Structure 1
Amino acid sequence: MSQKLITFYDITTKAKPNPGPSPFTAKVRCALNLKGIKFTTVWLEYPEIEAECKRIGAPPTGKRPDGSLLYTLPVIQDLSTGVVMSESNVILEYLDKTYPDTPKLFPGNTLGIQLAFDAAAQTRLLDILPLVIAYIPAGLNPVAEAHWRSTRERQLGKRVEELEPKGEARVAALQKTQASLGEVDGWISKSGEGKFIMGDEMTFVDISLGAALCGVRVALGDKGAAFWEEISGWQSGRWEQLRKACEPYHK
């Protein structure tokens, strides 16, 4: 695969050319690299996403509260098939079917069970969001930060900094997050002694959880390094090990 087959649309942040805090774009980048599919990245600031998605014919991924269509990244444009596709999980399913001679993300008949496991695990991981969200704006370029803040804060009705728990509330939020990740760790522990969740080969669930963890680490940045060190020690270091295993594929 010497020719670049895929145009991959990713979100520009201060981390560029490395992934920003979005676990969804990181998930697709990781899958493309794991599969060895050659791709070119088009970097977009948040305010540019909707217009570019409409220009290339990318499907909307939802609706805003006012009923207007919502366009988000990741998006891929497959130059070999003409397909333009959005939504990370849909993209990963497409890559497995369209490029069958590359490492499988959903080996055997595991598509349904992996999607179900990931949905349950991601629900638990959401507990960390209030502890992380206030760090995200610092990693964005000024034009993207203004757009990101205005859209999120309009929906939430408050500044993102106000969402971060303080004092005893933060202690409680940390305990809840650690317990939720502990529940996921318990599920994974029942899978056996393999390096990854389904054995010795990285599959979809590893990529998805690894992308979420990498997103948290990027969002925390230098200011939140001590917090990440704390997370790294939970569940015998499982989350840092998974993040490090996925990190080389996020380049």
Structure 2
Amino acid sequence: MSNEPIIFYDIPSTAPGCAWSPNTWIIRYALNLKGLEYKTVWVEYPDIADLCKRIGAAPSMIRKNGSPYYTLPVIEDPATGTVLSESLLITEYLDATYPGTHALIPPGTRTLQRSSYDHVTTASTEYIMPAVADILRPRSKGYFVRTREESFGKKLADMTPTGEAHEIAWKELEAGFGRVSSWMKDDMFVMGDVVSYADLVVAGEFQWFKKSFGEESDKWKDMLTWQGGRWAKLVNNLQKYEGPAEEAPISE
């Protein structure tokens, strides 16, 4: 069995610490929480599909037209020869392969873990897409803008709500997280006082907002007050599992 670290593929940005994607943040948290040794390999958006095909990572989904869609996170574990994509599947693999570490999807909780935050952040799309474009590095930004504008059928610069539309959409986003908060009642985490996969999902979402909006933005500061500061407390409680800030080398 190899003693080499797990290879963790992530998407770089110009934001502090480089990591920004909500789905890759789930696995970054998971690896650090489990205490597993890993190294980050940064991959620009235009290179993700070729990388996945080369190392044998499955597509994250199949589009309606039948074409594969590749995205990150992906891990490559030299200890077992495993290459795996999709955050839930990766987390299940880490639980099964490294049973002496913190279990993030305890037996019998898979449905809970994957559905706790489903569809509560739909309203964030029109805010976050333009913000993400602003923090991506040049090679990724061009690809991201082109593909997202094709997908949404509009310019990213025209997506962000303003005026009354902003007031409505922003309240909708806050209300989505309010529903989650009401399910959790007074518990710090979804499973009470134990961190699980579902907590990493929402913490990853808030990392997404923080990195994309910027810590000094009015939007981010407002989000920190939602539900009595519940989500600020969650992110702070998981800070020790963020790992060291990283920087990606400049690609040619």
**Does TM-score exceed 0.5, indicating one fold?**
yes
Does the 8 Å CA contact 1:213/1:243 hold for their aligned counterparts? Answer: yes
Does the 8 Å CA contact 2:188/2:234 hold for their aligned counterparts? Answer: no
Q: Deviations over 1:2-51 (max 9, x none)?
A: 9443111110111374412x111010111000000111111111111111
Aligned CA RMSD, in angstroms, stands at 1.8
- Alignment length, in residue pairs? 242
- 2:248 alignment partner in structure 1: none
Q: Secondary structure at the match of 1:41?
A: strand
Which shows bigger deviation, 36-45 or 66-75?
Answer: 66-75
Q: What does 1:146-165 correspond to in 2, within 5 Å?
A: 146-165=142-161
Matched, 1:233 2:225: yes
Residues 31/169 of structure 1: CA separation in 2 closer, same or farther (3 Å cut): same
Uncovered stretches (5+) of structure 2, i.e. residues with no partner: 244-252
Q: What does 1:1-251 correspond to in 2, within 5 Å?
A: 3-15=3-15, 17-20=17-20, 22-64=21-63, 66-117=65-116, 121-189=117-185, 193-221=186-214, 225-251=217-243
Residues 64/195 of structure 1: CA separation in 2 closer, same or farther (3 Å cut): closer
Does the 8 Å CA contact 1:3/1:38 hold for their aligned counterparts? Answer: no
Does the 8 Å CA contact 2:128/2:212 hold for their aligned counterparts? Answer: yes
Uncovered stretches (5+) of structure 1, i.e. residues with no partner: none
Q: Secondary structure at the match of 1:77?
A: strand
Residue 218 of structure 1 deviates from its aligned partner by 0.8
Does the 8 Å CA contact 1:61/1:70 hold for their aligned counterparts? Answer: yes
Residue 194 of structure 1 deviates from its aligned partner by 4.1
Does the 8 Å CA contact 1:46/1:147 hold for their aligned counterparts? Answer: yes
Paired with 1:179 and 1:53, the residues of 2 have a C-alpha distance of 37
Q: Secondary structure at the match of 1:124?
A: coil
Paired with 1:169 and 1:245, the residues of 2 have a C-alpha distance of 33
TM-score if structure 2 supplies the norm length? 0.90
Paired with 1:152 and 1:28, the residues of 2 have a C-alpha distance of 24
Does the 8 Å CA contact 1:131/1:173 hold for their aligned counterparts? Answer: no
TM-score if structure 1 supplies the norm length? 0.90
Does the 8 Å CA contact 2:214/2:220 hold for their aligned counterparts? Answer: no
Amino acid at match of 1:235: Q
Paired with 2:203 and 2:127, the residues of 1 have a C-alpha distance of 18
Residue 58 of structure 1 deviates from its aligned partner by 0.7
Paired with 1:68 and 1:181, the residues of 2 have a C-alpha distance of 33
Paired with 1:77 and 1:129, the residues of 2 have a C-alpha distance of 30
Paired with 1:114 and 1:206, the residues of 2 have a C-alpha distance of 9
User: Identity over the aligned pairs, expressed in percent?
Assistant: 37
In proportion to residue count, which structure has more helix? Answer: 1
